[in-house]
Amino acid sequence: MTRSNSQADLELLRKRARALALSLEDEQLDAVVDTVVVLELGDHRVGVSLSALDEIAPLTPLAALPGLPTWLPGIAQVRGRIISVLDLHAWLKMTGRTSPRYLALVRCAAGTMGILIDAIGEVRSVRAKDLAESLATDRTRGVRATTKDLTPLLDIDVLLSHPDMQVDHGATWDSVMSNIEVHRGGAGDPCKTRS
């Protein structure tokens, strides 16, 4: 074999190697990272994992509680359950105005919260290649990644367990309830008088 031949062979081999390496990367980039529901907050959109989303409920009147931060506007009732409400727009310090009409109930191991949303967008599969690696995301505040079209994707577990989501002013349930003399059964029990 002449020297130039082996050189050409090497070159060919290198080309092939490169071609094969590229397609593997493509596969990885093409893999679906998550199926995500897009939620609309004013002019902004965020993505929430479909698996973390319990339901979308129409917004019922909110009750504000004293001493809560702006991103915790209060509590609401969804079919008899008392749900803690999260103003994501305030939490992520987004600009513009919103007109919330629904609550997106999202769940983590510790519990459920209702995110104020204007509307629900599409459900989409997010692939690795859709993510903008270079954009800085505040992981600790619950944004795990951002897509190339600038949709932040939320990590519900991190978001809901953030210490600023918890409010504890120190009283125990017992000490507070002791201030309310409760009727436990007895003549005042509505069920007993009715049945």
Partner 1 sequence: MQDPVLDQLLAIFRDEAHEGLDAFGQHIGGLALSSGPAFDDLIDQSMRIAHNLKGASATVGLDDMALLAHVCEDVLLAMRQKRLTTSLENACDALARSASVMANLVDSIPVDATATIERLSSLVIGGAGGGAKRAESDSIKDDDPDFLVIRPDVKVKAEPQSAVPPDVTRPPGVSDDATVKAEPRGAGPVAVRPQGIRVDADRLDELVRFVGELLAVQAELQERHTELEQGEQWLHSQAEDFDPLQREAMRQHLTRLDGQVRRNRDAMRRLSRLTSELSEAVRRMRMIPVSALAATFRRSVADAAQVTRRDAELQMLGGDVELDKQVLDRVVEPVLHLLRNAVDHGLEDAEERVRKGKPRRGRVLVAARPDGDLVELSVHDDGRGIDAQRLRDAAIARGTRTREQLDQMSQAELFNLMFETGFTTAPKVSQISGRGLGLDVVRRTVEDCGGRLDLRSPGRLGGTSFILLLPVNVLSVHAVTVRAASGTFAFPIEAVERTLRFERASVREAGRQSVLDVDGEPLRLCELAAGLGLRQPQSPARARRDGVAVVLRRGGRVLALEVDEVVSDQEYAIKRLPWNLRSVTGVAGVVALSDSSVAVALDANHLLRTAGASAQNDAGAQPVAKIRVLVADDALTARTLAKNTLVAAGYAVTAVVDGAKAWQALLDEDFALVVSDVRMPNIDGIELTRRVRGDERLRRLPVILVTTESTPQDIQRGLSAGADEYLVKGPMQQQKLLEAVARHV
Query: Footprint of partner 1 on this chain (CB under 8 A)?
Result: 60-68, 72, 75-77, 79-84, 110-113, 160, 165-186, 188-191, 194-195
Q: Which residues pair with 40 in a beta bridge?
A: 45, 119
Cβ at position 169, least distance to partner 1 in Å: 4
Cβ at position 180, least distance to partner 1 in Å: 4
Report the residue number, 81 or 139, with the smaller CB distance to partner 1.
81
Cβ at position 139, least distance to partner 1 in Å: 20
∠ at Cα 94 (88, 95), nearest 5°?
Answer: 135
Reference 42, options 121, 99, 101; nearest CA is 99
Cβ at position 106, least distance to partner 1 in Å: 12
Contacts 24+ apart (CB under 8 A), 175-179: none
Report the residue number, 7 or 178, with the smaller CB distance to partner 1.
178
Cβ at position 127, least distance to partner 1 in Å: 33
Cβ at position 189, least distance to partner 1 in Å: 7
Report the residue number, 16 or 81, with the smaller CB distance to partner 1.
81
Judging by beta carbons within 10 Å of its beta carbon (0-12, 13-18, 19+), is residue 55 exposed, middle or buried? middle
Name, in order, each residue with C-beta under 8 angstroms of 79's C-beta and a sequence gap of 6 or more.
Answer: 57
Report the residue number, 77 or 125, with the smaller CB distance to partner 1.
77
Report the residue number, 44 or 89, with the smaller CB distance to partner 1.
89
**What is the CA 175 to chain-centroid distance, rounded?**
34
| CA distance from start to end of the chain | 103
Judging by beta carbons within 10 Å of its beta carbon (0-12, 13-18, 19+), is residue 144 exposed, middle or buried? buried
Report the residue number, 51 or 77, with the smaller CB distance to partner 1.
77
